[in-house]
């Protein structure tokens, strides 16, 4: 046996010993049970059902509510006068004819802009080009749909002025409407979720930031998954991201074993919805709540 072979075998043996030792000593830390994540799978309209009506508009939320969705996925940003609105992008160009940063406009100024100008329906028409589709505030949405569940996604970066304010403001609004049991709070930024939880103190279901989701998947595939301690109650992820296959049934089982739910976003195909719910997902976030009708009916009848 050559010297290199002996070294390789020694390293392998040492790694196996480390793995076995950690497996014996470290016990996975499960998340506490949150009632919102128990029971039947949930269907959320993404931005109100963004393929059926202008995203984040009251019109979109109304359409999705009529279709019987369990709740809404809502992106959040702060205006110049510190109002939380339902809006995705940092700038206005994608969904309106106006230009500029959201943070540079007051709520009153934003409400004068048509945010349905660039919306195209399923036939490729622009039915709202000459109408007024106004921006919606978070308070307006929560007031109107108090029977629904919400995934509230903080879009403002934590290193901005807006981002520094929005966690505390969000918590106060949730308290105002007494909707803590119906809300998931998440963000692309782990730091924003942590800041929000300083106020919420684990009273709210917390979503995982992108970094947390990647860390979990890396731990799962490395054979050291038993060392992973989740900081979130639910992962809200695409089915795939780069080389990461979040929709792996074994990965879903891994998370479920830690009492962590997994929701898949922007799933706009009925076959995919059914497959994901069958193999371990607790929720679907879709731009096409109309296509989710058979799924909704199935779980209502169960």
Domains and CATH numbers, the chain: 31-90+134-301 (3.20.20.190)
Given this model, what pLDDT does residue 90 score?
98
Distance separating alpha carbons of residues 127 and 125, to the nearest angstrom: 6
Check whether 102 has a pLDDT greater than 50: yes
The pLDDT tens digits of the residues spanning 232-242 come to 999 999 998 87
Average the pLDDT over 277-301 and give the result. Answer: 90
- Mean of the per-residue pLDDT values of the chain: 89
The tokens for 12 are 């392998």
Given this model, what pLDDT does residue 302 score?
63
How far, CA to CA in Å, does 15 sit from each of 9, 27, 218, 222, 230? 10, 19, 17, 12, 24
Higher per-residue pLDDT: 39 or 47: 47
Beta strands in the chain (DSSP E): 42-46, 71-78, 84-86, 149-154, 183-186, 205-206, 234-237, 240-241, 244-245, 261-265, 283-286
Given this model, what pLDDT does residue 295 score?
87
Work out whether strand 183-186 and strand 149-154 pair parallel, antiparallel, or are unpaired: parallel
Contact 296, 69 (CB under 8 A): yes
Backbone region of residue 124 per phi and psi (left: phi > 0; alpha: psi in -120 to 50; beta: other values) = left
Distance separating alpha carbons of residues 97 and 60, to the nearest angstrom: 19
Distance separating alpha carbons of residues 71 and 110, to the nearest angstrom: 25
Q: Specify the residue for token string 């949730």.
A: 174
Higher per-residue pLDDT: 15 or 73: 73
Average the pLDDT over 286-290 and give the result. Answer: 96
Percentage of the residues of the chain whose pLDDT score is greater than 70: 89
Higher per-residue pLDDT: 58 or 8: 58
Q: Residue 78's beta-bridge partner residues?
A: 84
Average the pLDDT over 210-218 and give the result. Answer: 88
Given this model, what pLDDT does residue 211 score?
83
Backbone region of residue 170 per phi and psi (left: phi > 0; alpha: psi in -120 to 50; beta: other values) = alpha
Confidence of residue 28 (pLDDT cuts 50, 70, 90): low
Given this model, what pLDDT does residue 186 score?
97
């Amino acid at each position: 046996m050559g010297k290199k072979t002996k070294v390789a075998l020694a390293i392998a043996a040492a790694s196996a010993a480390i793995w076995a030792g950690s497996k014996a000593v470290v016990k996975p830390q499960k998340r506490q049970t949150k009632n919102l994540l128990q029971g039947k799978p949930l269907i959320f309209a993404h931005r109100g059902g963004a393929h059926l009506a202008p995203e984040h508009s009251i019109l979109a939320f109304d359409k999705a509510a009529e279709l019987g969705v369990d709740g809404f996925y809502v992106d959040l940003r702060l205006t110049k006068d510190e109002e939380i609105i339902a809006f995705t992008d940092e700038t206005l160009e994608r969904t309106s004819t106006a230009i500029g940063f959201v943070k540079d406009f007051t709520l009153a100024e934003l409400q004068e802009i048509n945010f349905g100008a660039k919306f195209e329906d399923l036939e490729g028409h622009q039915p709202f080009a000459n109408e007024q589709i106004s921006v919606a505030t978070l308070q307006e949405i929560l007031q109107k749909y108090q029977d629904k569940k919400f995934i509230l996604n903080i879009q403002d970066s934590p290193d901005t002025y807006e981002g520094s304010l929005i966690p505390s403001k969000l918590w106060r609004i949730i308290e105002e409407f007494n909707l803590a049991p119906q809300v998931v709070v998440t963000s692309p930024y782990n730091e924003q979720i942590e800041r929000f939880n300083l106020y919420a103190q684990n009273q709210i279901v917390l979503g995982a930031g992108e970094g947390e989701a990647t860390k979990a998947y890396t731990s799962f595939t490395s054979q050291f998954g038993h060392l992973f301690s989740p900081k979130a109650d639910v992962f809200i992820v695409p089915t795939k991201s780069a080389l990461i296959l979040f929709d792996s049934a074994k990965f879903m089982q891994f998370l479920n074993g830690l009492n962590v739910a997994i929701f898949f976003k922007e799933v706009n195909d009925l076959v995919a919805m059914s497959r994901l719910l069958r193999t371990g997902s607790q929720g679907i976030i879709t731009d096409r709540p109309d296509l989710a009708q058979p799924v909704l009916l199935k779980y209502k009848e169960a």
